[in-house]
Amino acid sequence: MITLKKIARISSFLFSALLLTSILPGCATKVKINMIQPAQYHEASLTKAVAVLPFIGPEGKEFAAELEGVIAGIGIDDKRYFTLVDRTELDKTISEMKLTQSGLVDQKTAARLGKLVGAQGIYTGVIQQNSCKDSPYQEKRTVCTQYETRRDKDGLTYRGPCTHWRQYNVACTKRIASFAVSPKLVEVSTGKILYSRNLSATSESAGCIDTKPVQSENVLIEKAKESVKRDFRRDIAPYYVTVEIKLMDSEDGIDSPEAKDKLKNGLAYADKGRMDNACELWGEARNRAGNSPALLYNLGVCAESRGDLDAALNLYKQADKIMGKPDDDISLALNRVGNAIKNKEKIKEELSGK
């Protein structure tokens, strides 16, 4: 059951505290806020008690352990998002069932195993690619072989400009690491596949015998794996993104000198990360200049940053109406908040559990 207290807590996640503001000469003030996004695969995010079976393929067992670490490390509000079945208990059950490596990816077997270990979902998968490829190539170098000899006013010689050049080629290597995996999540109670996706990434490096060496295969493979694990993380649980929002400084619709000062001073506070003071000043200025698109828009940013999406949408709509013509920043704000409102219920469901 979702209590009012829990709903309030969840709503606070939708837009976290303002992180950073920045201003450049001649540029509008910008603020950055953290926004929580729903998991890319909603059903996977609702399956909270999970186990990860060894994957098939080269180093499949090791990578499954890495995904286990990713799942265990996901936390929202300093609380662990998923519950993992104890690895020792899982290995013991696999041994008792006398399962082969190939049998671990079978849906029915995975579901049966999940029931025995008390999991809601079982992750299985296949490593499709885990390799590096080297491609030799050459780069041209130019070196001076002879310099002009010159004399200064005292008759002493010194080296002048180059008069003869020689070109030569050096051996180089381009190395590309490729990693691909196909994880899937099986719902224990039904045997249904809740999540299935092909994840892949590459990482490359180049080096020559006379410069820095090409990066090792292990380093490049790890980089490719990290990219895959980031995608997997966003697939299965809510995640944060940082959004940069531009504030408006136009004095259109503001006749009161006091209101103009409050708009300007509010931007100065925002530049120093003091959005609390900025929002207060803009609210006061609005009482004297209710038809200012900039004040309405900036107050919309205030509402958005504290997670009041309905208020933000209303303020952005007012600013849009008064502007009387399309404005890129207002259009972005309307789309951003509209999407956030659509995602609100989904995020609440993900954060409250299945």
pLDDT tens-digit map of 194-223: 999 999 999 999 999 999 999 999 999 999
Q: How confident is the model at residue 89 (pLDDT cuts 50, 70, 90)?
A: confident
Model confidence pLDDT, tens digit, residues 114-128: 888 999 999 999 999
- The answer to whether position 165 is within a domain reads no
CB atoms within 10 A of CB 169: 11
Do both 33 and 52 map to the same domain? no
Q: Specify the pTM.
A: 0.79
Do both 22 and 61 map to the same domain? no
- The answer to whether position 160 is within a domain reads no
Q: Are 220 and 203 in contact (CB under 8 A)?
A: yes
Do both 56 and 120 map to the same domain? yes
Final residue of a structural domain among 185, 212, 237: 237
pLDDT (0 to 100) of residue 26: 47
Model confidence pLDDT, tens digit, residues 268-325: 999 898 999 999 999 999 999 989 999 999 999 999 998 899 999 999 999 999 999 9
Do both 177 and 215 map to the same domain? yes
Q: Is pLDDT of 1 > 50?
A: no
Q: Are 197 and 182 in contact (CB under 8 A)?
A: yes
**Cα-trace Rg, the chain:** 30
Would you give the distance in Å from CA 22 to the centre of its chain? 21
* Residue bearing the bigger pLDDT, 186 or 113: 186
* Residue bearing the bigger pLDDT, 92 or 132: 132
The encoded tokens of residue 347 equal 């995020």
Q: Is pLDDT of 161 > 60?
A: yes
Q: In which domain, by residue range, is 62 found?
A: 42-133+173-237
Q: Looking at the 3D structure of the chain, how many domains does it have?
A: 2
Rounded to whole angstroms, how far apart are CA atoms 40 and 230? 12
